[in-house]
Structure 1
Amino acid sequence: MCSLLTKAAAAAAARRQDRLRVALRGLGEQSGASSVSPAGDGRPRAAAGAPPRGRRRYSTGTRLSDGLLFRQLFESESSTYTYLLADAVSKDAVLIDPVLETVDRDLKLIEELGLRLKTAVNTHCHADHVTGTGLMKTRLAGLKSAISKSSGAAADVLLSEGDRITFGNHYLTVRETPGHTDGCVTLVTQDEGVAFTGDALLIRGCGRTDFQQGCSKRLYASIQQKIFTLPDRCLVYPAHDYLGQTVSTVGEERAFNPRLTKSLEDFVAIMNNLNLPKPSKIDISVPANLVCGVHHV
């Protein structure tokens, strides 16, 4: 009997993946998606011969502070980090930047840990992947989606500067950090010990500024005024990394980031000369993410 149940579960999972591939293919046919696959935010991808990114699933860290559970998750196709945080006592949880292709993985982990996912928040309207938020809302009753009010995207909660995303006795504070897009936000823990910087600040890099109302001057100001004003010890967890790096600190980035140690004029010149191809899924991802992703797979 156990063997039959295991086979049935595996078959159901396979059917969900087939439906997911069909849904994404349908979106691509409707939008005329590009076949180009660049590094979406202006960072190089791992060199040839590097270990496959798809094998990396979790970071080794499980707690950021007393009473706060933490998981760093990775989606290999778009090199996107998803972050799960939860109050260890109440089990209330928040998920940052979920990806459509890894919804099943994330929901399984949430169930295994006995968590109640209250909010799924996107740090901006992504161009390189479809958010998993919409599909998650169909599977978890009461789940709220959240995104910046300035993004122009639909969500249950539209965020502005200073807003709090609460889960149990913990909360994340919203800092508006536009520049990569109009609607980028950085989410900071209440002790200012951790910042989830989305595509604004990456490890030794930053998000590109050549589409979706991007502006190099605004990005430079956002990072200098909203992120680099955090304590040096503050951990920096970005939405992407293409070289296997998982975490940095504000102090490190202020000292060693090759773009952000430059003057504003030099930074703008660097960003204006990246000459990157557009992300391969931009024509699929942006329209889908403006309506909170795919809702039926």
Structure 2
Amino acid sequence: MLLRQLFDPETSTYTYLIADMSAKEAALVDPVLEQVERDAKLIDELGLTLKYCLETHIHADHVTGTGELRKLKGCQGVLPENAKVDCADCFIKDGEVLKVGKIEIKAISTLGHTDCHMAYLVNNDSLLTGDALLIRGCGRTDFQSGDAGTLYDHITQKLFTLSDDTLVYPGHDYRGQTVSTIGEEKQFNPRFVGHNRDSFIELMSNLNLPNPKKIAEAVPANQGCGKVAATV
């Protein structure tokens, strides 16, 4: 299995290329519009057929590259169930498994950062957590129908119950960190260590973070799978 982590420096977004090198099939998770040329070039260089573009959720900080990659590569755009979009080729449900060659990608509902969010467990040992669980952090819950209590429940009851040696690959990192483990995050993540559900909700309600710079553009564009509205 190939699992390649790709980075967009403007938005600190990680895109993941998952590929079965024997079957020459691939999936991209959370592609970024400005990096479509990079991603398509890598896929071509490796001789891969892009089968899926998977979204963890409707992003507020970058515009997805799914729409453009679908045009270029003929892949399917896959979004979490309940995502408020009408351009997806299909929606994935909690517990559903997609296959890329012999690789199994299992969707795990991780609501709370937004009201439609999936983490993806690849071959039972690598977890792409999107914006739900970050390295020594977690996604914010103060917009896009976020809910701190729901996020706490889903992370502690669904993600923290996975094997401690499960690798954690986040959707973003702002400090140069690339990978962690479930065991590390249970032991060292300050958003959860020493907190119960009530204190976590209080913590999250007092972060006072500024809105993402691209939120006004990104959310409506991503509801159209990356179609940016024309400006007059």
TM-score by length of 1: 0.75
Structure 1 unmatched runs, 5+: 1-67
Equivalent pairs: percent with the same residue? 51
- Alpha-carbon distance between aligned partners in 2 of 1:208 and 1:70, rounded to the nearest angstrom: 26
- Alpha-carbon distance between aligned partners in 2 of 1:295 and 1:151, rounded to the nearest angstrom: 18
Q: Deviations over 1:44-86 (max 9, x none)?
A: xxxxxxxxxxxxxxxxxxxxxxxx0121000001100000010
- Alpha-carbon distance between aligned partners in 1 of 2:220 and 2:146, rounded to the nearest angstrom: 17
Please list, as runs of the form range in 1=range in 2, the aligned pairs for 1:55-94 lying within 5 A after superposition: 68-94=1-27
TM-superposed deviation, 1:88: 1.5
TM-superposed deviation, 1:164: 1.1
Equivalent residue, structure 2, for 1:231: 163
User: Structure 1 stretches (4+) deviating beyond 4 angstroms?
Assistant: none
Equivalent residue, structure 2, for 1:179: 112
TM-superposed deviation, 1:296: 10
Instruction: Give the residue type in structure 1 aligned to 2:3.
Output: F
- Alpha-carbon distance between aligned partners in 2 of 1:117 and 1:260, rounded to the nearest angstrom: 37
- Structure ranking higher in strand proportion: 2
TM-superposed deviation, 1:294: 2.4
Instruction: Give the residue type in structure 2 aligned to 1:238.
Output: P
3-state SS in 2 of match to 1:81: strand
CA contact (8 A) 1:132 1:294 kept: no
Aligned residues: 228
- Alpha-carbon distance between aligned partners in 1 of 2:33 and 2:158, rounded to the nearest angstrom: 29
- Alpha-carbon distance between aligned partners in 1 of 2:169 and 2:116, rounded to the nearest angstrom: 18
CA contact (8 A) 1:181 1:215 kept: yes
3-state SS in 1 of match to 2:111: coil
When residues 266 and 224 of structure 1 are mapped into structure 2, their CA distance, relative to the original with a 3 A threshold, is: same
Based on CA coordinates, which of the two structures has the bigger radius of gyration? 1
TM-score by length of 2: 0.96
Please list, as runs of the form range in 1=range in 2, the aligned pairs for 1:146-295 lying within 5 A after superposition: 146-153=78-85, 154-190=87-123, 192-261=124-193, 262-294=195-227
User: Which structure carries more relative contact order (alpha carbon 8 Å, separation 6+)?
Assistant: 1
Aligned-CA RMSD value: 1.3
1:131 aligns with 2:64: yes
Instruction: Give the residue type in structure 2 aligned to 1:245.
Output: Q
TM-superposed deviation, 1:157: 1.2
